[in-house]
Amino acid sequence: MIPFWALVRKDLKLFFNDRRAVIVGLVVPILLASFFGYLFGGQGTREISRMQLLAIDQDSSAISKGVIAQLAGDPHLEVKASTPEEARELVRKGKAVAAVVIPRDFGNAAGHALFGGGEKPEIGILYDPSHAIEMAMVQGILTGAVMQAVSKEMFSRPTGRDIVRESRAQIEKDSTMPEAQRKSLSDMLSSVQKWNEMQAQAPTGGAGRSESSEGGLSIPFQTHSEAITANTGEQYNSYAHAFGGMGIQFILFMGLDVGVRLLLLRQTGLWQRLRAAPLSRSVLLGSRATSAALISAFILFVLFSFARWVFGVRIQGSFVGFLGVCAAFSLMTAAFGLMIAAFGKTVEATRGYAVMATLLMVMLGGSWVPAQFFPPWLQTATKVVPTRWAMDGLDGMTWRGLGLSAAYGPIAILLLFTLVFGALAVMSFRWEAES
Amino acid sequence: MLDVKSLKKSYGKVVAVDGVSLRAGAGETIGLLGPNGAGKTTTVSMIAGLFPPDSGEVLIDGSPLRGDTDPVKRKIGLVPQNVALYDELPAIDNLTFLGALYDLRGAPLKRAIADALDLVGLADRAKDKVGTFSGGMKRRINLAAALLHDPQILLLDEPTVGVDPQSRNAIFDNLETLKKHGKTLVYTTHYMEEAERLCDRIVIIDHGKVIANDTLHGLHRMLPVTNVLAIELDKPDGFKSDALRALPEVESAELREGKLRVGLHDLTTGAPVVLRWMADNGYTYQHLTSERPDLETVFLTLTGRSLRDS
């Protein structure tokens, strides 16, 4: 074992000897992880930024004004009045997420469409396609706002009374509608008309006119949101994911460097010297894998220590599971590095291919953007990528607060990848020195 | 005792080494001489066990070299052609690491490092990074690294490439010391003067084949002439070399640029005959020297090509 540990010690010395590389290798992932962590919500205490929404009111009716007032009251939106030309320009420049265009006669048409089956008016939406996810939210808020504004007008305001009266007269003249249906609809509108007239005669703020009765239709439920993290009431700390992701990325780059260095070593007299010594191939490759795994573990230790002290990231799940995932990922990285050395032809070409493969693994593993943002098919497809398991394992043991049993899957899969990569490396490694 | 028998190695259709055999005993220095690409490094690599030959075998004290972990490898020390050390690490860390590859540790390792550094004269630079060393110092520490496990056989693959004459002499002194200690040295080079100075036997390799294997004296005997008299004539115009060439002691005679070169089989008997013939025929001269043919001439004679241009 003396040669084995001498080889490991030498690799560690070479790594720590290059202090600039060590600092850059640790500082850069910390900076990136801090940035990504902040971007995805930070420690959960940051105020949510409101979406810029432009409103173009071409109707200026009570209903259209009501819609805009409802939108303006939503805590997720920052609504500003605009014109069609200005709105189009601002959305194109990315200064606003979307613009809502309420056309002329919208209020009247919407009122008739609510009861009488009249033609539905169209609200135009101009949106920034890079904010497609936010658009779904805007449409939901807009639907609620329109329903509330239109129904409020129908049940309690003069415009509504006129529209209900007109709608009732139209229905009674409609000979195409079956008698029973026509009578039921007419009775309902008659009741609405009476309710509206009662609202008009009631004194403002009087007993007969309560806040709720004036409100028209409203969404008949409220939601209570709770972030399910390790502990009840605890906010999601996105730094946990960001530091795990950046750790994975930079450790993979370290693994890539191990492979490239091994390729370079084969072109030097040092490789001849190593091969001239009475050392087995398993000692030569195993020591390299061990030192790479130890360096990986060191990088993860530094990153998570920093995240712990600066951003309050804690291992809220099983600590043993966390160590297991880190160790399994470190071994997988070491085997990945050896595989690069085994399959690489020239250093230049190998570096190019390996960087591409590493970036793909990092991206598909969810290190940059959490995998839950991926479309469902991609979430399934990325299960063949080892980094996805490492990321799931680290997330599970940190902010999700899962137990040891949740780490078994990721650890097993990562060790399986280690075996496959390692076996391919040993089988394909070219032992003869290159001149 | 090193016994190399009929080593062969091919890379695809290219035959790098084609039946190389040689023997070297304790305290003996064998020179592998040949142009670049002749197969010297491949031969040394197979002797060191870096890769197996396609056929043939290497015997160390009668034991064949088998496998990566064969203990027989401990009897061999390799000095690679390129400096095989980590520039980023101090000399002592490099030597500690390389010694540990042979299971050395503790006091024996420290002693081995101190002895090796003393031999190459770098004990005072032990704590300096190898990257700060001059080219000659790197070559010397490269030699020291191969001595730590006290190998019986030292394989030196062009150990003086790119060093200044002073460092080259220092390395030669080190090698002569090792030779006195009974080490077997196998020294590859394409510098004839190095082979002539250091080697007891010289194996000339060309295109992977041994074309000569003899002592320096034996190689000289293979030449048509053993000595050359170089005579600068006072009046070279009109000199008739045919008459001189007709003398039985003279093997060749050639006049070029005012200098007469006379090839002799035996300097002792031939030189007086030539000088008497010159005096009898009225030829006077300003300068006279005797030259021995060098290995360049040997190589030229054996292959028809210059060693450096091959």
Q: Does B86 touch chain A (CB under 8 A)?
A: yes
Do β-strands B76-79 and B153-157 pair in parallel, antiparallel, or remain unpaired? parallel
Short-list B58, B36, B35, CA closest to B45:
B58
Give the one of B68, B102, B146 whose C-beta lies nearest to A280's C-beta: B68
Q: With contact defined as beta carbons under 8 Å apart, do A167 and A189 qualify?
A: yes
Give the one of A5, A17, A275 whose C-beta lies nearest to B89's C-beta: A17
Q: Does A17 touch chain B (CB under 8 A)?
A: yes
Distance from B115 to chain A by nearest Cα, in Å? Answer: 20
Give the one of B69, B84, B100 whose C-beta lies nearest to A6's C-beta: B100
pLDDT of residue A217: 65
Q: Does B104 touch chain A (CB under 8 A)?
A: yes
Instruction: Please state, in angstroms and rounded to a whole number, the distance separating the CA atoms of residues A127 and A88.
Output: 9
Q: Which residue has the higher pLDDT, A261 or B7?
A: B7
Give the one of B85, B102, B142 whose C-beta lies nearest to A277's C-beta: B102
- C-beta pairs of B236-245 under 8 Å, 24+ apart in sequence: B236/B260, B239/B283, B243/B277, B243/B281, B244/B274, B244/B277
Q: Does B101 touch chain A (CB under 8 A)?
A: yes
Q: Which of residues 139-158 of B touch A (CB under 8 A)?
A: 142, 145-146
Query: How many of the other CB atoms lie within 10 Å of CB of A158?
Result: 11
Whether B51 sits inside 8 A of A431 (CB atoms) is: yes
Provide DSSP, A5-16: HHHHHHHHHHHH
- Splitting chain A (435 residues) into consecutive groups of 10 residues, what average pLDDT does each group show? 92 89 87 89 67 92 90 89 92 88 90 76 88 82 87 80 81 82 84 79 55 58 68 75 91 86 84 92 89 89 93 90 92 88 81 88 89 86 93 90 93 96 87 63
Q: Any bridge partners for residue B27, and if so which? A: none
Whether A280 sits inside 8 A of B69 (CB atoms) is: yes
Residue type, A274: L
DSSP state of A236: P
Contacts of A277 in chain B (CB under 8 A): 73, 101-102
Distance from B283 to chain A by nearest Cα, in Å? Answer: 57
Mean pLDDT of B178-185: 93
Do β-strands B153-157 and B184-189 pair in parallel, antiparallel, or remain unpaired? parallel
Q: With contact defined as beta carbons under 8 Å apart, do A55 and A79 qualify?
A: yes
Compute the mean pLDDT over every residue in chain B, rounded to the nearest whole number: 89
Instruction: Please state, in angstroms and rounded to a whole number, the distance separating the CA atoms of residues A252 and A337.
Output: 8
Give the one of A6, A269, A432 whose C-beta lies nearest to B97's C-beta: A6
Q: Which of residues 18-57 of A touch B (CB under 8 A)?
A: 18
Q: Which two tokens stand for residue A139?
A: 């449409």
Sign of the alpha-carbon dihedral angle for B113, B117, B120, B122:
positive
Return the H-helix or E-strand segment holding B202: strand B201-206
Q: With contact defined as beta carbons under 8 Å apart, do A214 and A196 qualify?
A: no
Q: Does B83 touch chain A (CB under 8 A)?
A: yes
Distances (CA, A) of B265 to A100, B244, B292: 112, 14, 11
Q: With contact defined as beta carbons under 8 Å apart, do B59 and B139 qualify?
A: no
Q: With contact defined as beta carbons under 8 Å apart, do B229 and B242 qualify?
A: no
Query: How many of the other CB atoms lie within 10 Å of CB of A406?
Result: 19
Percent of chain B with pLDDT over 70: 98
Q: Which domains does chain B have, with CATH numbers?
A: 2-221 (3.40.50.300), 227-292 (3.30.70)
DSSP state of B197: H
Distances (CA, A) of A288 to A118, A151, A265, A295, A337: 77, 73, 12, 11, 9
Q: Over 60: is that where the pLDDT of B308 sits?
A: no
Instruction: Please state, in angstroms and rounded to a whole number, the distance separating the CA atoms of residues B195 and B30.
Output: 8
Mean pLDDT of B300-307: 72
Q: Does B303 touch chain A (CB under 8 A)?
A: no
Distances (CA, A) of A350 to A15, A256, A295, A435: 21, 9, 22, 18
Based on the number of CB atoms within 10 Å of its own CB, is A53 exposed (0-12), middle (13-18) or buried (19 or more)?
Answer: buried
Structure-derived torsion over alpha carbons of residues A304, A307, A313, A318, reported in degrees to the nearest 10: 0
pLDDT of residue A228: 66
Distance from B61 to chain A by nearest Cα, in Å? Answer: 17
Instruction: Please state, in angstroms and rounded to a whole number, the distance separating the CA atoms of residues B290 and B293.
Output: 10
Q: Does B105 touch chain A (CB under 8 A)?
A: yes
pLDDT of residue B303: 76
pLDDT of residue B71: 92
Task: Compute the C-alpha angle B108/B110/B115, nearest 5°.
Answer: 95
Give the one of A14, A274, A280 whose C-beta lies nearest to B88's C-beta: A14
Distances (CA, A) of B72 to A276, B55, B65: 11, 19, 6
Q: Does A117 touch chain B (CB under 8 A)?
A: no
Residue type, A294: L
Q: With contact defined as beta carbons under 8 Å apart, do A266 and A433 qualify?
A: yes
Instruction: Mutate one of A1, A5, A273 to test the B interface: name it (highest B CB count within 10 A).
Output: A273
Instruction: Please state, in angstroms and rounded to a whole number, the distance separating the CA atoms of residues B40 and B182.
Output: 23
ipTM computed for the complex? 0.81
Provide DSSP, A125-155: EEE-GGGHHHHHHHHHHHHHHHHHHHHHHHH
Whether B50 sits inside 8 A of A9 (CB atoms) is: no
Contacts of A278 in chain B (CB under 8 A): 68-71, 73-74, 102
Q: Which two tokens stand for residue A18?
A: 């290059």
Q: Does A434 touch chain B (CB under 8 A)?
A: no
pLDDT of residue A203: 65
Short-list A363, A297, A303, CA closest to A334:
A297
Task: Tell me the three state secondary structure of residue A95.
Answer: coil
Q: Does B98 touch chain A (CB under 8 A)?
A: yes
Distance from A331 to chain B by nearest Cα, in Å? Answer: 24
Q: Does B279 touch chain A (CB under 8 A)?
A: no
Q: With contact defined as beta carbons under 8 Å apart, do A304 and A313 qualify?
A: yes
Q: Any bridge partners for residue B24, and if so which? A: B2
Residue of B nearest to A3 (CA): B101
Q: How far is CA A377 from the centre of its chain?
A: 16
Short-list B206, B208, B156, CA closest to B11:
B208
Q: How far is CA A68 from the centre of its chain?
A: 30
Instruction: Please state, in angstroms and rounded to a whole number, the distance separating the CA atoms of residues A404 and B124.
Output: 55
Q: Over 90: is that where the pLDDT of B297 sits?
A: no
Instruction: Please state, in angstroms and rounded to a whole number, the distance separating the CA atoms of residues B218 and B129.
Output: 45
Instruction: Please state, in angstroms and rounded to a whole number, the distance separating the CA atoms of residues A334 and A336.
Output: 5
pLDDT of residue A117: 64
Q: Over 50: is that where the pLDDT of B236 sits?
A: yes
Q: Which of residues 268-327 of A touch B (CB under 8 A)?
A: 268-270, 272-281
Q: With contact defined as beta carbons under 8 Å apart, do B86 and A10 qualify?
A: yes
Sign of the alpha-carbon dihedral angle for B267, B269, B271, B277:
negative
DSSP state of B258: T
pLDDT of residue B309: 53
Instruction: Please state, in angstroms and rounded to a whole number, the distance separating the CA atoms of residues B9 and A33.
Output: 54
3-state helix, strand, coil in chain A (%, to 5): 70, 5, 25
Q: Over 80: is that where the pLDDT of B310 sits?
A: no
Q: Which domains does chain A have, with CATH numbers?
A: 7-43+235-428 (no CATH), 51-214 (3.40.1710)
Q: Which residue has the higher pLDDT, A118 or B91?
A: B91
pLDDT of residue A206: 45
Distance from A35 to chain B by nearest Cα, in Å? Answer: 34
Instruction: Please state, in angstroms and rounded to a whole number, the distance separating the CA atoms of residues B283 and B277.
Output: 9
Whether B51 sits inside 8 A of A14 (CB atoms) is: no
Short-list B142, B137, B156, CA closest to B195:
B156
Structure-derived torsion over alpha carbons of residues B275, B280, B286, B287, reported in degrees to the nearest 10: -10
Contacts of A269 in chain B (CB under 8 A): 80-84, 142
In total, chain B counts a number of residues equal to 310
Whether B73 sits inside 8 A of A269 (CB atoms) is: no
Using the CB atoms, write b or e for A121-148: b if 16+ within 10 Å.
bebeebbbeebeebbebbeebbebbbbb
Give me Rg for the CA atoms of chain A: 33
Task: Tell me the three state secondary structure of residue B186.
Answer: strand
DSSP state of B90: B
Whether A276 sits inside 8 A of B78 (CB atoms) is: yes
Distances (CA, A) of A279 to A83, A282, A284, B3: 79, 8, 7, 23
Sign of the alpha-carbon dihedral angle for A226, A230, A233, A239:
negative
Mean pLDDT of B134-152: 93
Contacts of B145 in chain A (CB under 8 A): 273
Instruction: Mutate one of B44, B66, B68, B141 to test the A interface: name it (highest A CB count within 10 A).
Output: B68
pLDDT of residue A234: 67
Count, in order, helices (H) and strands (E) of chain A.
17, 4
Contacts of B146 in chain A (CB under 8 A): 273
How many pairs of residues across A and B have Cβ atoms under 8 Å apart? Answer: 87
Predicted TM-score (pTM) of the model is 0.71
Q: With contact defined as beta carbons under 8 Å apart, do A332 and A300 qualify?
A: no
Give the one of A277, A281, A431 whose C-beta lies nearest to B73's C-beta: A277
The model's pLDDT over B53-62, given as tens digits with 9 standing for 90+, comes to 999 999 999 9
Whether A278 sits inside 8 A of B74 (CB atoms) is: yes
